[in-house]
């Protein structure tokens, strides 16, 4: 069960996640056909399109002379050596930037590989979810049946070095890049394990790691069997996995369903289309696609009857793109949407290869809700607004020095909110370290076998953070999900 | 006298100034000749160079095909309308960005006009120094003999609207753009003047405004007449103005000189070269210029004898480029350099017109100190480190709400430092609003005919800020200058 994975990322990896949203919702959500009947030909058709544009594109427009002049000037006269390939890639990136559209991007060969891993829902590596905790790359959890699990890596293991290379000064992305590698290759991790005095080495053989995008759960609410399906992104396997899990739940005679797309940054339009086929009847479009000329093309399912059981959808500000297509279609067909206003991405990109392994993702279309609303930049508003407890929204604490009574800053504010979340009440949560905060810190330290100083040092802060992460992971305080279950049969 | 103008900008217009540094130090510091003997031909020679590169530049490199493909793809398929000119400018900007050099930039026709105004030390407008105070565009001072002064605009006048257009939501740059305009044109400013109940309109006829870059002052230190020459930038008129002011001071028999380039972002290499001719003898180069191939060309003055009086130089982190060329040459010829480590820009740009009014400023050269040091990114370290009082480094306060006892945030920290600077001691300056801070606020309010609440509301904050600005303007507490004068005869 991993229903709360997204939340942990939200709280811990704010920076990383933002990068991820940027990249991933930008993803070729799909190549929507203007002809809905030719669905089977879609991939083939796209290829044709691409070649068409590639052919068109070699005509040199007259104004390009100015760009050529600039290119030659830089090459000949810039004080440092110039990488010609980078220069040309810069030109393409520069053109895309003028569009003022974060979803139209250039991807070099390397970016395309990462992109394909996301789309294909698999990557080659050791199969561990890692995060930056107190400045240390830390294993949150090994993925089930992965090399990391087989090598007995444990949650909270800190990775000190990779193949004898110290990780100090690297950010999480850089560290992850070093851990990843081709299937079959070996990597040596130096591990510091809590409770074990000396660091030790673990050798892991990398393998292909499937990325699950659908997580299913079954709960009994008011005596009724209730399914919960969480979608973490819309990749090539998502629609099939969703169908299988839904079938399993229905075989168990569920009487209600919650679809959770919180923190889901989107993905392939195909995937969300197939999923909507289960729920949105042919009486209205499930989405409309608008092209450059303003023509709107409605897309319909072949579904005659709605599900008999109630269904609602969980969203938050991390739900983007394909997640919003689903959420707004469900909303406009009178389902409850619970949570927070979603991200607001109302465009569809197409990936156009440039022939040398690089690709331009370009915004070709807008998508509109069944009723024709463009949610871009506005997001989808929930029908029932519900936030998580405050501590879900705290940031990791980066201590420069031990914090104590009479200090005041943002870190203290975060710690106060975390302490309250863990049941250690403090009368302030504005970042001023008062006597009451000191008492709460002392209580926490007593309960966790820490030296009772009433001061927030690195160890205490790390311990408070670890508790918060555990609490979010366990999902014991997921008030949005509780609300969604609560209103399902009302 | 305006010796302190820079400091005011430093404290008030941090954001604007950063932009300005970016733009202005990027300026074609000059077109240094590889042949030092042909100095007179410099401008002519540059033109030739430029045309040469323009000729070369129309050869289309093969890889440009990829850029052309991207251009055509975007034009044909991007969901919104595309401005072709912008697209091509984006391509040029994108190429320049790959250089990772903030000083290599593309300037469109409009940017070039602004750039030329800076170089030529004049612009067309109303002639008032303005700033953003409490979210209002506010006149700091009308320039002497300017249309603004003739129209009786006063310091602290707030500009509410320009030609009936409300300024709300505009930043300072956008507002300034609206106030500026061609010589002879009229602009109507709606003015709110402190102490006058209703706003009123003032019509100003724009004119050509000279920008002074040299300010001279004479003080008696230890009974010795001492000249102070402040340079605010290095423009076309700066070297001549400097020579004239220096001559005037020497005619008054000064016994020492302080050259103040604090906050001076640089400008034309020619200008600083001419100024160095007064001080750096022919016994060592005053600067060395290194080209793409690594060849170093030393430049020499024709000066035989040093000045008989002592000279030192004032720098701070706003002193960049040409200012640093001067400072490091003076430092390496055994003059005292007082203040803070300078900005650190060790490159020389050349402006290359593209034929359509737009221009590429490209880094052609590095400049090295007389002894061959490249100060890029390091800056010039003073021989005598001296900071200004803390309040020089405070930021403008932007109140969301009235601040009072027991609150804690960055704004309070700024106000505490300002209060201390104005002689209202507070025992904390960390942003926590304690009883002692409340007392100081009350004292300030009493002394300034404000309602005595002990709370920081907009009026109180504005009044505190205005006092600080006045204090900095008056230069009564310029500890760097005091230090420079202090050590001059030691």
User: Which residues neighbour A480 within 8 Å (Cβ) at sequence distance 6 or greater?
Assistant: A262, A314, A316, A338, A339, A340, A386, A387, A388
The residue that leads in pLDDT, B136 or B488, is: B488
Q: Is B64 in contact with A66 (Cβ distance < 8 A)?
A: no
B407 contacts in chain A (CB < 8 Å): 430
How many of the other CB atoms lie within 10 Å of CB of B364? 23
Top residue of B46, B61, B94 to mutate, by most chain A CBs within 10 Å, is B94
pLDDT average, residue stretch A421-442: 94
User: Which residues neighbour A54 within 8 Å (Cβ) at sequence distance 6 or greater?
Assistant: A352, A354, A355, B69
B382-423, pLDDT tens digit by residue?
999 999 999 998 877 778 889 999 999 889 999 999 999 999
Residue B290: the pLDDT is 96
Tell which residue, A289, A278, A287, has the closest CA to residue A238. A278
Residue B450: the pLDDT is 93
Tell which residue, A399, A469, A406, A402, has the closest CA to residue A437. A406
Tell which residue, B205, B191, B202, B193, has the closest CA to residue B147. B205
Residue B138: the pLDDT is 86
A350 contacts in chain B (CB < 8 Å): 77
Distances (CA, A) of B439 to A373, A476, B401, B410, B443: 56, 48, 20, 19, 6
Q: Is the pLDDT of residue B144 over 50?
A: yes
Which candidate in B7, B235, B321, B342 is catalytic? B321
Q: Which of A17-26, A120-129, B231-240 shows the lowest mean pLDDT across its residues?
A: A17-26
Active site residue B293: no
Residue A177: the pLDDT is 82
The residue that leads in pLDDT, A401 or A370, is: A370
A308-351, pLDDT tens digit by residue?
999 999 999 999 999 999 999 999 999 999 999 999 999 999 98
Q: Is B68 in contact with A91 (Cβ distance < 8 A)?
A: no
A26 contacts in chain B (CB < 8 Å): none
Residue B60: the pLDDT is 66
Top residue of B65, B77, B351 to mutate, by most chain A CBs within 10 Å, is B77
A239-289, pLDDT tens digit by residue?
999 999 999 999 999 999 999 999 898 999 999 999 999 999 999 999 999
Q: Is the pLDDT of residue B297 over 70?
A: yes
Q: State the Cα–Cα distance between residues A280 and A335, nearest whole angstrom.
A: 11
Pairing of strands B186-192, B158-162: antiparallel
Residue B48: the pLDDT is 30
Q: Where are the beta strands (DSSP E) in B335-378?
A: 336-339, 347-353, 359-368
Residue B57: the pLDDT is 52
The residue that leads in pLDDT, A485 or A149, is: A485
pTM check: above 0.80: no
pLDDT average, residue stretch B441-450: 96
B335-375, pLDDT tens digit by residue?
999 999 999 999 999 989 888 888 999 999 999 999 999 99
Residue A122: the pLDDT is 73
A449-482, pLDDT tens digit by residue?
999 999 999 889 989 988 888 888 778 889 999 9
Structure token pair of residue A71: 């290119």
Q: Is A68 in contact with B64 (Cβ distance < 8 A)?
A: yes
Q: Is the pLDDT of residue A423 over 90?
A: yes
Residue A55: the pLDDT is 42
Q: Is the pLDDT of residue A19 over 70?
A: no
Structure token pair of residue A314: 């969980």
B89 interfacial to chain A (CB closer than 8 Å)? yes
Active site residue B47: no
Residue B396: the pLDDT is 74
pLDDT band at B109 (very low <50, low <70, confident <90, very high): confident
What is the pLDDT of chain A when averaged over all its residues? 84
Residue A434: the pLDDT is 95
A59 interfacial to chain B (CB closer than 8 Å)? yes
Q: Is the pLDDT of residue A223 over 90?
A: yes
Q: Is the pLDDT of residue A5 over 90?
A: no
Helix, strand, or coil (residue B97): helix
Which residue from B minimizes the CA distance to A289? Answer: B79
- Phi, psi angle pair for A160, to nearest 5°: -90, -40
User: Which residues neighbour A364 within 8 Å (Cβ) at sequence distance 6 or greater?
Assistant: A291, A292, A348, A349, A350, B77, B78, B79
CA–CA min distance A87, chain B (Å) = 5
Tell which residue, A10, A59, A85, A1, has the closest CA to residue A315. A10
Residue A230: the pLDDT is 96
* Of A76, A89, A363, Cβ closest to residue B79: A363
Q: State the Cα–Cα distance between residues A383 and A453, nearest whole angstrom.
A: 47
Q: Is the pLDDT of residue A41 over 60?
A: no
Residue B4: the pLDDT is 35
Q: At what angle do helices B64-77 and B84-98 cross, to 10 degrees?
A: 140
Residue pointed to by tokens 């809700």: A369
pLDDT band at A4 (very low <50, low <70, confident <90, very high): very low
Residue A59: the pLDDT is 65
Tell which residue, B407, B422, B398, has the closest CA to residue B471. B422
Q: What is the ipTM of this complex?
A: 0.76
pLDDT band at A57 (very low <50, low <70, confident <90, very high): low
B403 interfacial to chain A (CB closer than 8 Å)? no
Residue A473: the pLDDT is 76
The residue that leads in pLDDT, B488 or B14, is: B488
Q: Is the pLDDT of residue A429 over 50?
A: yes
Residue B11: the pLDDT is 29
Residue B59: the pLDDT is 65
Residue A42: the pLDDT is 29
The residue that leads in pLDDT, B173 or A6, is: B173
* Of B94, B98, B106, Cβ closest to residue A97: B94
Residue B472: the pLDDT is 84
Which residue from B minimizes the CA distance to A365? Answer: B79
């Amino acid at each position: 069960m991993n229903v709360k994975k997204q939340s942990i990322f939200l709280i811990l990896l704010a920076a990383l996640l933002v990068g991820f949203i940027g990249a991933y919702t930008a993803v070729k959500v799909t190549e929507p056909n203007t002809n809905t009947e030719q669905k089977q030909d879609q991939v083939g058709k796209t290829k044709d399109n691409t070649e068409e544009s590639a052919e068109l594109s070699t005509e040199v427009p007259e104004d390009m002379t100015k760009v050529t002049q600039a290119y030659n000037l830089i090459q000949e006269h810039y004080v440092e050596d110039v990488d010609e390939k980078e220069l040309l890639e810069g030109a393409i990136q520069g053109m895309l930037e003028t569009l003022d559209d974060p979803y139209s991007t250039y991807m070099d060969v390397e970016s395309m590989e990462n992109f394909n891993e996301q789309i294909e829902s698999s990557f080659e590596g050791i199969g561990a979810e890692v995060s930056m905790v107190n400045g240390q790359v830390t294993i949150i959890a090994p993925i089930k049946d992965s090399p990391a699990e087989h090598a007995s890596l444990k949650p909270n293991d800190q990775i000190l070095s990779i193949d004898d290379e110290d990780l100090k000064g690297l950010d999480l992305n850089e560290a992850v890049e070093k851990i990843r590698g081709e299937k079959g290759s070996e990597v040596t991790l130096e591990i510091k394990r809590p409770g074990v005095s000396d660091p030790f080495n673990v050798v892991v053989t990398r393998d292909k790691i499937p990325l699950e995008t659908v997580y299913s759960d079954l709960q009994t609410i008011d005596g009724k069997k209730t399914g919960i399906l969480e979608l973490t992104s819309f990749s090539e396997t998502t629609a099939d996995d969703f169908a299988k899990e839904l079938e399993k739940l229905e075989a168990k005679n569920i009487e209600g369903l919650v679809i959770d797309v919180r923190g889901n940054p989107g993905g392939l339009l195909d995937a969300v289309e197939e999923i909507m086929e289960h729920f949105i009847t042919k009486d209205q479009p499930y989405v409309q696609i608008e092209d450059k000329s303003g023509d709107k093309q409605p897309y319909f399912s072949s579904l005659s009857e709605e599900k008999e059981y109630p269904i609602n959808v969980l969203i938050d500000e991390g739900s983007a793109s394909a997640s919003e297509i689903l959420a707004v279609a469900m909303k406009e067909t009178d389902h409850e949407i619970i949570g927070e206003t979603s991200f607001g991405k109302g465009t569809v990109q197409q990936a156009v290869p440039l022939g040398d392994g690089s690709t331009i993702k370009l915004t070709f279309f807008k998508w509109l809700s069944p009723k024709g609303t463009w949610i871009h930049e506005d997001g989808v508003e929930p029908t029932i607004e519900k936030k998580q407890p405050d501590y879900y929204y705290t940031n990791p604490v980066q201590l420069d020095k031990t914090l104590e009574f009479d200090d005041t800053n943002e870190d203290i504010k975060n710690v106060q909110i975390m302490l309250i979340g863990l049941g250690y009440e403090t009368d302030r949560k504005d970042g001023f370290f008062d006597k009451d905060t000191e008492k709460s810190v002392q209580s926490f330290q007593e309960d966790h076998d820490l030296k009772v100083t009433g001061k927030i040092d690195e160890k205490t802060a790390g311990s408070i953070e670890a508790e918060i992460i555990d609490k979010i992971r366990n999902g014991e305080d997921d008030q949005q999900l509780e609300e969604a279950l609560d209103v399902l049969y009302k």
